[in-house]
Amino acid sequence: MPGVEGFMYPNEIELQWSVLIVLYPFLTGLVAGAFILASLERVFRVQAVKPTYRLALLTALSFLLVAPLPLQLHLGHPERSFEMYLTPHRTSAMAMFGFVYVWYLMAVLVLEIWLDYRRDIVVLSESTTGWRRWIYRMMTLGSHNLSERALAIDERVGYLITVIGIPSAFLLHGYVGFIFGSVKANPWWSTPLMPVVFIFSAMVSGIAAVMVLYMLMTWSRGRSIDMRCVDTVARYLFYTFIIDFSLEMLDLIHRIYESDESFRSLDFMVHTKLYLSHIVVQIVLGTVTPIALLGLTQVVKLTEMARKRIYALAGCLTLIGIFAMRWNVVIGGQLFSKSFLGYTTYKMGLVTREGLLVAIVLTVLPLVILWVLVKLLPPWTERNSGLLPDARAAH
């Protein structure tokens, strides 16, 4: 049989989870990571990253809105997914995801963004015209109260939501890792480290994404990049990446030392079918290189331009590396037989419902949503930026 080596059980020959299921943890990881970056400013009072605070929140919302779409496209009957809300099955981790998702979307992200932007929304509802005015008016919920006390209440409630949001972000992405980690029949996935590795890799990808987006957007707006901010974000990315890499290496060393009955099969796979995506792209290109680049900026005094270029390159490589990590987990876990006697091949469709084209569209869609959100709710803290000439003056 083409693409099959050795012995495969019949239900293992064709992969059930496609590139869309690779995309799903990648997108939710960006959400959780972006939110954790936002919380640095709000909860941990890291003032240097303030310019990225609102952008991080909007990025998280954009990606969170798209995150369920890969799952919906994977389902044969997407309309039935709503039934997990109607008749919740409390013993199913996958079914409970719906509630984790809604909690994170409505009780954390939307609420925090609304509270943070309320002052701007009220001002914009008065200063804009046409359809924009109607949108902002709807968003004010009819309350134009901008008294000091009201804004102080917003600040306190927003802080509380961010505090609740941090464990929620961990829950959102830790859950994704939990789903894989709890599949005891699959030795490639079944490890209690999986949720922890997923959380830290999520933080890495989210911080890298916001850093790259901030630099890209600031450059496209013709403004100067706040280097104190980007230096701080890059430093946090470096620290988080070291923890993430250490955890992944711990998992790897543990597997090698333990050498259980699956080891030979997995080892063979890493040296053959997954060599390019795992060793070359994930570890060398997507992990060691960006860590080395970011480490270089920490120990060598470089010019501003050099640092910008290094951050941009390291950020992009990080995102590629984290996507490769998701690929190696999801696709890699399905390439070998549970008999450990054979291997199959993943052939990705191009213009199918779960093919490459759809995956590209779903990767670009959050950026389009982000563009709309940035137009609607400008995240920039400088004066005279975008739609809101004076609103930030009182900040």
Partner 1 sequence: MRDTEHSGLGTASCIQLTATSEPEGGRASLRRARSSTGTTMHAFKDSGHLFRLAAVFVAGILVFLVLRGFLVPKSFGQYGHYRGNAMAEIAARPVNFAGHETCETCHADVLDKKKDGKHAHVNCEACHGPLAKHADDPASVQPPKLDTAVLCVRCHEANAAKPKTFPQVASADHSTGLPCDTCHQPHSPVIGGGAK
Report the C-alpha gap between 211 and 233 in whole angstroms: 7
Smallest gap from Cβ 143 to partner 1, in A, equals 4
Least Å distance, CB 322 to partner 1, is 34
Q: Which of 16, 129, 147, 220 binds partner 1 (CB under 8 A)?
A: 147
Q: Which is nearer to partner 1, 317 or 335 (CB)?
A: 335
Using the rule CB under 8 A, is 308 a contact of partner 1?
no
CB atoms within 10 A of CB 233: 28
Q: 57 or 319, CB closer to partner 1?
A: 57
CA distance 42 to 362: 30
Taking CB under 8 A as the binding criterion, the range among 67-75, 134-142, 202-210, 216-224 that sits at the site for partner 1 is 134-142
CB of 126 to partner 1, least distance (A): 5
77 is an interface residue for partner 1 by CB under 8 A: no
The stretch among 176-184, 197-205, 286-294, 382-390 that binds partner 1 (CB under 8 A) is 382-390
Measure the CA–CA gap between 286 and 291, rounded to whole angstroms: 9
Q: Which of 335, 180, 185 is nearest to 251 (CA)?
A: 180
Binding status of residue 304 toward partner 1 by CB under 8 A: no
Among 105, 108, 202, 391, binds partner 1 (CB under 8 A): 391
Measured CA to CA, the distance from residue 357 to residue 12 in angstroms comes to: 25
Helix (H, G, I), strand (E, B) or coil at 256: helix
As beta bridge partners, residue 388 has 385
Interface characters, 84-123, with partner 1 (x: CB under 8 A): -xxx-x----------------x----x--x---xx--xx
Contact 209, 59 (CB under 8 A): yes
* Phi, psi dihedrals of residue 102, rounded to the nearest 5°: -65, -40
Q: What is the size of the binding site for partner 1 (CB under 8 A)?
A: 37
CB-based contact 265:342 (threshold 8 Å): no
Q: Two tokens at 223?
A: 């403004």
Q: Which is nearer to partner 1, 245 or 380 (CB)?
A: 380
Amino acid at 185: A
- The phi-psi region of residue 340 (left if phi > 0; otherwise alpha if psi is between -120 and 50; otherwise beta) is left
Q: Is 151 in the site for partner 1 (CB under 8 A)?
A: yes
Residues that bind partner 1 (CB under 8 A): 7, 9, 85-87, 89, 106, 111, 114, 118-119, 122-123, 126-127, 140-151, 153, 157, 339, 341, 388-391, 393-394
